[in-house]
């Protein structure tokens, strides 16, 4: 156990996040390392504040001596113009989800994409990134697409019901990764796109407790491919269960949720947390929410 005596005061700014699992995850891991680690949600909805007030809350946090903030929907983009520095990956992604406060300065990072990568690494055995198909290019999808290309995806096909959004995302990513192939295809071509896929990344709300169902026909998933999902309530979505039943490698959404928390904790404290322990705690917490 660490003998570090410094205390940490961390906040989470976002909309409707009072029941977030991040506070108990961070605080428990802090205790495991002998830290006085307090993590408090700052819920815009509960405070009856608009997203535009996030910058004022951040400034107040700096004045009050906070060490860091996690940033979530809907202010991951809005907060960027109010920061002193932004990490290269966060700038390329166009979104910040972790802000460190150092000597009165605010520095923005993004651990959504790195957390997704961490989740893949801990759940998949030597995944093939040769030809990956991704469904959904919204907030989570943007981070996943960036992560897949950073991980070495040779070809990434983006598909979304909003064809314009998929196309714009593909064009932006192609400029960032000119040595790799990034394309957008119509949603109606999903089955065809999956025929030769080595991996499938599911980044839509379909499969959540409040949006049950399958985003794709499981029989379209090729043998020996892998499947990832960003949804963690429930962790075992219908897609994950169907892919597992077909013998495919799977990475559920809990891996990304835990991975981003692991990376944020390390940024904030400089201490590498225990990934397995945080995952076990997250499973207990999420099981309680589902119950």
Cβ atoms of residues 57 and 14 within 8 Å: no
**28 tagged catalytic:** no
CB within 8 A of 126, min separation 6: which ones? none
Going by the DSSP 8-state scheme, the letter that residue 108 receives in this structure is: E
Cβ atoms of residues 139 and 205 within 8 Å: no
Cβ atoms of residues 203 and 230 within 8 Å: yes
Cα of first residue to Cα of last residue in the chain, in angstroms, is 33
Read off φ and ψ for residue 284, nearest 5 degrees. Answer: -65, -40
How far is it, in rounded angstroms, from Cα 138 to Cα 161? 10
Q: What is the DSSP string of 32-74?
A: HTT-EEEEEEEEHHHHT--GGGHHHHHHHHHHHT--EEEE-TT
Q: Among the options 28, 59, 76, 155, which is catalytic? A: 76
Strands 68-71 and 85-86: unpaired
CA distance readout (Å), 289 to 119, 279, 284: 21, 15, 9
Strands 7-14 and 36-43: parallel
Strands 98-102 and 105-109: antiparallel
Residues with catalytic roles: 76
């Amino acid at each position: 156990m660490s003998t570090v005596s410094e205390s940490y005061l961390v906040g989470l700014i976002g909309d409707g996040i009072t029941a977030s699992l991040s506070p108990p995850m961070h605080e428990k891991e802090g205790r495991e390392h002998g830290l006085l680690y307090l993590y408090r949600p700052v819920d815009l909805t509960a405070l009856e504040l608009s997203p535009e007030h996030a910058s004022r809350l951040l400034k107040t946090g700096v004045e009050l001596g906070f060490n860091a903030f996690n940033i979530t929907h809907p202010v991951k983009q809005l907060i960027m113009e109010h920061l002193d520095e932004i990490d290269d990956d966060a700038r390329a992604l166009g979104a910040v989800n972790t802000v460190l406060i150092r000597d009165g300065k605010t520095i923005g990072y993004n651990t959504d994409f790195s957390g997704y990568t961490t989740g893949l690494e801990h759940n998949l055995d030597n995944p093939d990134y040769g030809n990956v198909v991704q469904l959904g290019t919204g907030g989570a999808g943007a981070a996943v697409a960036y992560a897949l290309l950073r991980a070495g995806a040779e070809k990434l096909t983006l598909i979304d019901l909003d064809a314009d959004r998929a196309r714009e995302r593909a064009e932006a990513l192609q400029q960032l990764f000119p040595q790799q192939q990034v394309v957008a295809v119509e949603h109606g071509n999903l089955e065809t796109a999956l025929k030769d896929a080595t991996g499938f990344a599911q980044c839509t709300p379909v499969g959540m407790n409040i949006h049950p169902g399958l985003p794709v026909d499981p029989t379209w998933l090729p043998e020996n491919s892998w499947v990832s999902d960003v949804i963690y309530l429930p962790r075992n979505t219908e897609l994950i269960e169907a892919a597992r039943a077909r013998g495919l490698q799977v990475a559920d959404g809990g891996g990304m949720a835990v991975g981003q928390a692991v990376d944020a904790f390390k940024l904030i404290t400089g201490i590498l947390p225990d990934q397995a322990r945080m995952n076990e705690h997250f499973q207990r917490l999420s099981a309680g929410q589902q119950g």
